[in-house]
Structure 1
Amino acid sequence: MTKNFFYFMHTVLLALVFLGFAPSFYFKPLIADQPFYPNGLPTPHIIHGVILTVWYIFLVVQARWIKVKAISTHRKSGWFGAVGAVLVIASTVWVISLFPDRMEALAQQTHSTVEELEPNLLQILWLDIFMSTLFVVFVLTGILKRNTPHIHKRLMLYTGIVYLFAATFRLGGIIGNLTIPVLGLATSVGLLLGLTVSLLVHDYRTYKKIYPVSWICFVLYWGFTALSFFVAETEIGRELVDLLQK
């Protein structure tokens, strides 16, 4: 499994995305009376979901080309990925900008409040912003380091990990509803921690050292995650919702 590590990891990421979003996106038309989207998914969310799905599939395919030693095909396909990355960021920014108003509309439709529907609205917004920043950094650096395989492949792995929190939190929510909330949270965080730590373990087991790029990605990911929650609690962080609603 060591030599197929990155292909395996990208496949796991895609599987988690599918499992996390199956009820609210992929199988949405088959699920009646879905309370969170009583009037169906908004068009921007559908477009964003399709683009992100294609991105995760693209990462699996690219890793597969490396696995079967189709290096030339991998490199040629990479430029399609550059275009895809632009679409990922554009659609994410689009959805972020609409999120507060969307939650207000949902609150009215369900005769509830935004706080009841999504008490962590600010944290989610800032986590999206910080993860989008990391996505841009990892993609651009990955392109610049495309001729340095051990750096490039680790950066591209993290372009999939940065947005995975949305899927793992949904999986955790399902588990929390079936059991107890704390178990759901532990599942969400545990999955992300396990995925990020697994790269460090892979490096050490395979090369008897941990590549600096692996440490850097790990620290940036968890550092930005912590920073997003900190900023969300500040006055500036709270003003974001007002800004987006103007």
Structure 2
Amino acid sequence: MTEQIRSGGFFQIMGWILMVLVVSGFGIVQVLTPELTSPMRLALALHTLIFLSWFALLIIQPRLIDQRNFARHKQIGQISIGVAIALVLIGMIVTREAYQSPDWSIAGMSPQSSVMFPFTDMVFFAVLYWLAIAKRKDANTHKRLMLFAGIIMLDPALARLFRTLGMPPPFLSAVEIGLVIAILIHDRRTLGRFHGATWFGAALVVATYPLVFGVSQTKAWTELVTAVLGSPPAG
């Protein structure tokens, strides 16, 4: 069984789900706890704008394919390169600003260990996006890699959402794993098997856990982050 090229409905729906999560994550923090965003309002505003632009592409691009508007899809795809670069750059800026804030912590970890969270997001996003561009002539591979690039970058929005709602970190993992399962089910129904790009994307999602909860705790990682970003300010 082969997947038809005009099967963007699932990928559009997934794009909308990711967009809702991102809007909820950034929006609920601003509405309920605006004091948390005020120290780095400009960077977070740019961060939010670029994030929304990226996730909007995950909705627009599959729709253009369904409409067989390949020329416009290609034009927007070229624009997405700039959006992807900006996404990584602003992620680095926000991470550095957060690291320099007293008492910054993700999941109760030290500032050095917390850096691993955005670090893995940005590195894995870059890998998935680059491979998706390299495989742009293979529609089935391309769209799956792009979708996984979006899932990998959900962490900042989900972390803000669940922290503000007082929900523990496992909820974040549950959402991401749920999204991966949805792709696996789609593959099984449309292809009769799990696509190689799905296996690869799922592997990267899973790989984040030993990195953020294992490697990030090591002395070598702490020393590396301290050498690059300096010692965090005392709380």
**Is the pair's TM-score, using the shorter chain for normalization, greater than 0.5?**
yes
CA–CA separation in structure 1 for the residues paired with 2:161 and 2:141: 30
CA shift for structure 1 position 123: 4.2
CA–CA separation in structure 2 for the residues paired with 1:96 and 1:56: 20
3-state SS, counterpart of residue 136 of structure 2: coil
Question: What TM-score do you get using the length of structure 2 for normalisation?
Answer: 0.85
Query: Could you say which residue in structure 2 is the equivalent of 1:110?
Result: none
* 1:227 counterpart = 2:211: yes
Please give the residue correspondences for 1:55-94 in structure 2 after superposition, counting only pairs within 5 Å.
55-94=54-93
Structure 1 residues 124 and 141: alpha-carbon distance in aligned structure 2, compared to 1, 3 A threshold: same
CA shift for structure 1 position 145: 0.5
Query: Could you say which residue in structure 2 is the equivalent of 1:45?
Result: 44
CA–CA separation in structure 1 for the residues paired with 2:13 and 2:41: 33
Q: Which has the higher contact order (CA 8 A, sep 6+)?
A: 2
RMSD (Å), alpha carbons: 2.2
Map Cα deviations across residues 210-243 of structure 1 (whole Å, 9 max, x no partner). 1111111101221133223212110122231463
- AA partner of residue 230 (structure 2): Q
CA shift for structure 1 position 52: 1.4
Query: Could you say which residue in structure 2 is the equivalent of 1:170?
Result: 160
Does the Cα contact within 8 Å between 2:107 and 2:169 map onto a contact in 1? no
Structure 1 residues 6 and 41: alpha-carbon distance in aligned structure 2, compared to 1, 3 A threshold: same
CA shift for structure 1 position 97: 2.2
Where structure 1 has 5 or more consecutive residues not aligned to the other structure, the ranges are: 105-112
Map Cα deviations across residues 53-75 of structure 1 (whole Å, 9 max, x no partner). 21111221112212322222111
Where structure 2 has 5 or more consecutive residues not aligned to the other structure, the ranges are: 1-6
* 1:134 counterpart = 2:124: yes
Query: Could you say which residue in structure 1 is the equivalent of 2:230?
Result: 245
CA–CA separation in structure 2 for the residues paired with 1:19 and 1:45: 15
Structure 1 residues 145 and 36: alpha-carbon distance in aligned structure 2, compared to 1, 3 A threshold: same
Does the Cα contact within 8 Å between 1:14 and 1:56 map onto a contact in 2? yes
Does the Cα contact within 8 Å between 2:8 and 2:63 map onto a contact in 1? no
CA shift for structure 1 position 165: 1.5
Map Cα deviations across residues 19-72 of structure 1 (whole Å, 9 max, x no partner). 111123xxx3x65x73424x4543222222211121111221112212322222
Query: Could you say which residue in structure 1 is the equivalent of 2:53?
Result: 54
Structure 1 residues 146 and 41: alpha-carbon distance in aligned structure 2, compared to 1, 3 A threshold: same
Structure 1 residues 34 and 97: alpha-carbon distance in aligned structure 2, compared to 1, 3 A threshold: closer
CA–CA separation in structure 1 for the residues paired with 2:115 and 2:211: 12
- Detail structure 1 runs of 4+ shifted over 4 Å in the superposition: none
3-state SS, counterpart of residue 169 of structure 2: helix
Structure 1 residues 122 and 192: alpha-carbon distance in aligned structure 2, compared to 1, 3 A threshold: farther
Does the Cα contact within 8 Å between 2:113 and 2:222 map onto a contact in 1? no
CA–CA separation in structure 2 for the residues paired with 1:216 and 1:222: 10
